[in-house]
Amino acid sequence: MPFLRDWRVKSIIVFSVATTAEICQYFGIYALGVTFDLIDIIMYGVGVLMAVIVDRLVFTRIFKFWAVELVGIISQKK
């Protein structure tokens, strides 16, 4: 699935699934938990942002192979 290679798509999917589960809990549908809490949705957003920061900024500096996707995109534009 080539569309899953983009970090934006992955982060939207993760946040959407977690938030949908939390909204289901609000309506009494027990999905991935039992109790609804608005703070959980905020924490899902914080977690996704932290994952994006680590993935895009930290790992690309530590692991040289992590930025291969960026190199491929830049070379295709030329």
3-state secondary structure 1-35: CHHHHCHHHHHHHHHHHHHHHHHHHHCCCCCCCCC
On the question of pLDDT at 9 being above 60, the answer is yes
pLDDT of amino acid 77: 52
d(CA 65, CA 1): 20
In this structure, are residues 33 and 25 in contact, taking their beta carbons and an 8 Å threshold? Answer: yes
Residue 51: give the domain boundaries: 2-77
pLDDT of amino acid 5: 78
* pLDDT 10s digits, 16-72: 999 999 999 999 998 888 899 999 999 999 999 999 999 888 888 888 777 765 545
- Overall domain count for the chain: 1
DSSP letter for 55, please.
Answer: I
pLDDT tier for residue 2 given thresholds of 50, 70 and 90? confident
- Quote the pTM value: 0.74
Backbone φ and ψ of 10, nearest 5°: -65, -45
